Structure 1
Amino acid sequence: MKNKIKWIGAIFLLVNGSWVWAASLPADLKWETNDTDPVFASPKALPGGSLTMFIDSFPLTFRTVGPDSNGSFRSFIQDNQLRLISFHPNTGNPIPSLATHWAIAPDNQTVYFKLDPRAKWSDGKPVTADDYTFGYEMMRSKEIRAPWYNNYYTTEIVAVEKVDDHTIEVKSGNRKAKLDLLNTTELWPQPKHYYKLTPNWVKQYNWSQVPTTGPYVMTEVKKGKSITFSKQPDWWAQNDRYNQHRFNIDTIKVQVIRDHNIAFRHFLKGEIDTFEMILPNWWHEKAVTPEYKQGYVQKVMAMTDTKQGGQGLHLNVTNPKLADINVRLGIQHAMNLDKMIATVLRGDYDRATTFGSGFGEFTDMKLAERAYDVAKAREYFAKGGYAKPGPDGILQNDMGERLTLAITYTTQEHSKRLTVLKEEAKKAGLDLELNLVDGATGFKVMLEKKHEAAWLGWGGGGLYPQYWESFHSDNANKPQTNNLFNVADKDLDKLIDAYDVEFDTAKRAELSRQIQQRIYDLAIFVPGVQLNYVRASSWRYVMLPEVPATKNTPDQLYWPMDGYPHSSGGLLWIDPKVKAETQKAKEAGEALAPINLLDKTYAHH
């Protein structure tokens, strides 16, 4: 017998002999869905085949939360885990994913989602409301050792309630405009039947292959060498409108090759199928081999209009030297970024002036570049106590300590960029010490705040700039947070706190610009570069749609997974007929027509 007593806004249910609260639906909710936006995959796509990619370091964990989880491999797992909804990569509109419908309550703080009753985990278990209520509990748990998630699911997400098995209520910490609210509340589920929250959680699940809701599952792991994903033969969402003709590849092998030059040789032999070519020296100097000239390998470049995270030099202000704003301002003017762009980057990139770009009114386009200026740099260094040149030309303070800046970075390909900056900084009396550390390990050094300066770029993230994780004092002087600056500034905190609760979009954009101004005034970040294209090479049998990239395609043009927040990956496919023709021509030494494609559909004007 089902006993229930109705209360305002809730139901009191007898479940397994215990009385429990359950949320109930408000009257007059307006349910929405979206099955009318244009599809963006190609109906010419063919299912099947295998694809081999590479990464430069083996992940330190398969967990997506907790210590060491925030590395580059995380995208392979996270982008294969569907969220409640996604955002169309060209229109920006919300589209269904694990939820078929959504409804925003009049408080502009609460969203209701109807879960797709067909949704299944890769182990065959159904996805239900319990996976969301458990996920909320898990993300707030100290057992996962993830302070960022603990905080986010306490301040940004303040409730996740079950209405019934396929309806949930998600409440934001404050009122938000529609898209911002949806972007905040479209959560990942966590498989309640799989996880147990124990004090040993981090170690217990370090290498777990957790059930997924997306098209692929890990099927082979060779520690330190490779990870293979395989397509689920009867993936439950394959025929949904925005998934049709996507995720076509049967097997994706991700191979570890630490040196990009060695990886390129594997690519030219056909042992790797795709190769990212964002870096100018690869595109202009290396993609000119016989394999290109004979048409076996193609070059594809597509203009995009993406939101971009901050890329540049993060100064750790807990370092006594860098605690002095004069030293930080001197560093700003000692970095000859224009020369780096003109020479090493061949003018392909644009100079950045802010931490992140492409967010429209949320980006302060009026911030002036701090130009390379030896005299101005030396003037600031002198104010910071470094006035006397040493025998090697590097400035010293009264105690004879040299003016050095140790830069931690994780990509070998950036060595040439930093070498230019090093040579130019010497003229201003600054010695840059370049410390290249293996990808996953190097990022761990940064998260543990063991760097003086960190050179790296962040992904574009959500629909709007996110500042709390990188700049709020809540995340200063704590390991495993993204505040690599260790900045704790009361004025900045006030602006970020106001930004996070502001409902009015125009006022929020104004606060965003004020935050960027404050970051600029503190001189804790030296903005590097930004770019408005994706480009890559592949063997000619790896096919893409007629418009090869979406407006919001991330760096990786041939990304086989879904992508966050815009559902933009999984567009490629293998054409077996073209593959056979290519291999036959290669064996016979016969040339095919070279392919060098430039698509300007989404060029930013």
Structure 2
Amino acid sequence: GLSVSNDKRTLFIRLHPEARWHDGVPITARDVKFTVELIQSSIRFRGYFSWVQSAEILSEREIAFRLHSELTISNVFPLSWFPIMPAHYWEGRDPTRASLEPPLASGPYRVAEVRQGRYVRYERVPGYWGRDIAVNKGRFNFDQIRYDVYRDATVAREALRKGLFDAWLERDDRYWATGYDIPARDKGWLVMDYLDHREEIGVNRVIALNNRRERFQDPRVREALTLAVDFEWENRVLRFGLLDRAMSNFAGAPSLEARGLPSEGELALLAPFREQLPKRLFTEVFEFPQSTGIGRNRASLERARALLAESGWRIEDGVLVNDAGEPFEIEFLSVDGADQRTVLPYLGALKPLGITGRIRLVEAAQFVHLRQEFDYDAIITQNDIPAPPIVFLANFFHSQSASEGQSFNASGIADPVVDALIAKAVKVTTEEEMATVCRALDRVLLWGFYQIPLDAIAPFRLVYWDKFGRPEREDLAVYKSPFPDGWWYDDTKAARIEISK
């Protein structure tokens, strides 16, 4: 249970009396303190518990968090995001190092077997301490769950079609549209379905322009690069019309999206920064250009050309150059060959503007190094923000995270107005206040053209063999699909498929 002191400066936590680690040792306040202090020592995650000044152990099952300021909504959410870690297990071990030794845990499953590069097998824990807690009723029905590793998605799809494993999350639009037209699907044995999840909002793919580099620091240049994106063409030709454009940094949460003109509440927040913001923010509705999806979007390219000219770039012999004669070049850093399907058409659209572009495809370790060193012009990344987003705003958009290689601020956004709005966001105490400040922040980010949102976060696409029982009212799971926790094995369905093979 949780309780808060009258001055809202202390948060008390009491642990469940039956909570146990898999080795039988009770989960204690010492484990909670160990976990919070470990998170606070992490560059990437420390912001989620920066509001905790100190942790005081009151008893085996009780701990008090002393806070820097009054408790807010944003402080409470991280408590459910990070699992408690066993202090007695990690003594003498480094929790930041990768290992093939399964760590000690406390949940309904334990790691039973690991074959590096092949699979991980989980087994249900007999006598799991939390089995009869109300929130767990009807969940964790499988005795074993195995995750197979495939290095090639094409091979994995063939394995699924042959029934070598049961379920696959399809992320490629081409195969979702055309890859499962097989007899098993016609007979109802192989099922394609959407899994709704609202735990995350935001942008599935975003072109992150590296604003740390001089050529991207002029907002007119960034707007020109945004205008050159023809999302409708890509969606029609390459994505089978399956995607929706992300019109907001908080796509999927309508109450947080900047729509129409600023509300009175937003204007009150933005008024002190009016001189630092573009005038259009207060007088125009923000919209990305839309094309017919056929041919070039000439109107947008003409506007982009004019903006580049205003910012001091000119075309000489077909090449866009600045006053020093330096050509405008843009290099996309990528670790995923699939990025080429988005980047190559975009570079083709930039060519008439005189901009030379290329893709630098590297292996994973080099990508991580270059990403942390900010050694790129642009990358395609994912801005999927856990909802509600308040706690994560700084890691995605604050100037401090712009200099931290492990942050999610790939664009290097460092705007004092954004910083000020984030400072207000983390102090909100109501949902209405949260919505207002997020809409104001979204508006500032969009009109700053710091990054180019492409498609919005969408439901997961699941392809599975119909051998499972499912809850009748999965729609009651508002934030997360009950797959696989709430599903169960159905012998009758499974036998039907086996007999027919």
Q: How does the TM-score come out when normalised to structure 2? A: 0.83
- The match for 2:494 is 579
- The match for 1:148 is 44
Q: Which of residues 154, 163, 168 in structure 1 aligns to 2:63?
A: 168
Aligned-residue offset at 1:211 = 1.2
Instruction: Give the 5 Å matches for 1:23-422.
Output: 101-141=1-41, 146-153=42-49, 155-177=50-72, 179-186=73-80, 188-196=83-91, 202-203=96-97, 206-301=99-194, 307-311=200-204, 312-366=206-260, 368-371=286-289, 373-388=300-315, 390=317, 395-397=320-322, 401-422=326-347
Aligned-residue offset at 1:112 = 2.3
Instruction: Give the 5 Å matches for 1:450-489.
Output: 450-465=375-390, 466-489=392-415
Aligned-residue offset at 1:318 = 1.7
Aligned-residue offset at 1:126 = 1.0
Find the aligned partners of 1:492 and 1:472 in 2 and give their Cα distance.
7
Find the aligned partners of 2:149 and 2:320 in 1 and give their Cα distance.
42
Find the aligned partners of 1:412 and 1:122 in 2 and give their Cα distance.
41
Find the aligned partners of 1:434 and 1:548 in 2 and give their Cα distance.
42
What per-residue deviation string (whole Å, max 9, x for no partner) do you get for residues 189-223 of structure 1?
Answer: 2211012378x6644x6545221121222222223
| Residues 74 and 426 in structure 2, CA contact (< 8 A), matched pair in contact too | no
- The match for 1:538 is 464
What per-residue deviation string (whole Å, max 9, x for no partner) do you get for residues 537-560 of structure 1?
Answer: 101113432244655455xx6854
Q: Secondary structure at the match of 2:89?
A: coil
| Residues 337 and 421 in structure 1, CA contact (< 8 A), matched pair in contact too | no
Q: Secondary structure at the match of 2:87?
A: coil
Find the aligned partners of 2:217 and 2:226 in 1 and give their Cα distance.
14
Q: Secondary structure at the match of 2:349?
A: helix
Find the aligned partners of 1:454 and 1:550 in 2 and give their Cα distance.
37
Q: 1:169 to 1:322 in 2, by over 3 A?
A: same
What per-residue deviation string (whole Å, max 9, x for no partner) do you get for residues 99-146 of structure 1?
Answer: xx22233334533222111111122211011111222332334xxxx2
Q: 1:230 to 1:450 in 2, by over 3 A?
A: farther
| Residues 176 and 504 in structure 1, CA contact (< 8 A), matched pair in contact too | no
- Percent identity of the aligned residues? 21
| Residues 156 and 184 in structure 1, CA contact (< 8 A), matched pair in contact too | no
Q: Secondary structure at the match of 2:36?
A: helix
Q: Which moved more, 1:398-407 or 1:251-260?
A: 398-407
Find the aligned partners of 1:133 and 1:253 in 2 and give their Cα distance.
33
Q: 1:550 to 1:347 in 2, by over 3 A?
A: farther
Instruction: Give the 5 Å matches for 1:439-450.
Output: 442=367, 445-450=370-375
Aligned length: 465
Aligned-residue offset at 1:410 = 4.5
Q: Secondary structure at the match of 1:193?
A: helix
Aligned-residue offset at 1:259 = 2.4
| Residues 306 and 358 in structure 1, CA contact (< 8 A), matched pair in contact too | no
Q: 1:510 to 1:537 in 2, by over 3 A?
A: same
Aligned-residue offset at 1:439 = 6.3
What per-residue deviation string (whole Å, max 9, x for no partner) do you get for residues 463-495 of structure 1?
Answer: 234310112122222222222122222222222
What per-residue deviation string (whole Å, max 9, x for no partner) do you get for residues 366-417 of structure 1?
Answer: 3522316101111222334432155xx5534456544332223454445433
| Residues 11 and 64 in structure 2, CA contact (< 8 A), matched pair in contact too | yes
- Does residue 358 of structure 2 align to residue 433 of structure 1? yes
Q: Secondary structure at the match of 2:288?
A: coil
Find the aligned partners of 2:362 and 2:472 in 1 and give their Cα distance.
39
Find the aligned partners of 2:403 and 2:259 in 1 and give their Cα distance.
30
Q: 1:220 to 1:303 in 2, by over 3 A?
A: closer
Letter in 1 for 2:251: S
Structure 1: which 5+ residue stretches go unaligned? 1-100, 561-569, 587-605
Letter in 1 for 2:242: D
Q: Secondary structure at the match of 1:519?
A: helix
Q: Secondary structure at the match of 1:459?
A: strand
What per-residue deviation string (whole Å, max 9, x for no partner) do you get for residues 173-195 of structure 1?
Answer: 43355x54431444532211012
Aligned-residue offset at 1:336 = 0.9
Q: Which moved more, 1:393-402 or 1:122-131?
A: 393-402
Aligned-residue offset at 1:585 = 0.5
Find the aligned partners of 1:129 and 1:305 in 2 and give their Cα distance.
31
What per-residue deviation string (whole Å, max 9, x for no partner) do you get for residues 12-60 of structure 1?
Answer: xxxxxxxxxxxxxxxxxxxxxxxxxxxxxxxxxxxxxxxxxxxxxxxxx
Letter in 2 for 1:363: E
Structure 2: which 5+ residue stretches go unaligned? 261-284, 290-296
Find the aligned partners of 1:553 and 1:412 in 2 and give their Cα distance.
32
Q: 1:151 to 1:304 in 2, by over 3 A?
A: closer
Find the aligned partners of 2:121 and 2:365 in 1 and give their Cα distance.
19
Q: Which moved more, 1:266-275 or 1:219-228?
A: 219-228
Aligned-residue offset at 1:265 = 0.7
Q: Secondary structure at the match of 2:384?
A: coil
- The match for 1:82 is none
Structure 1 vs Structure 2 CA RMSD: 2.9
| Residues 111 and 185 in structure 1, CA contact (< 8 A), matched pair in contact too | no
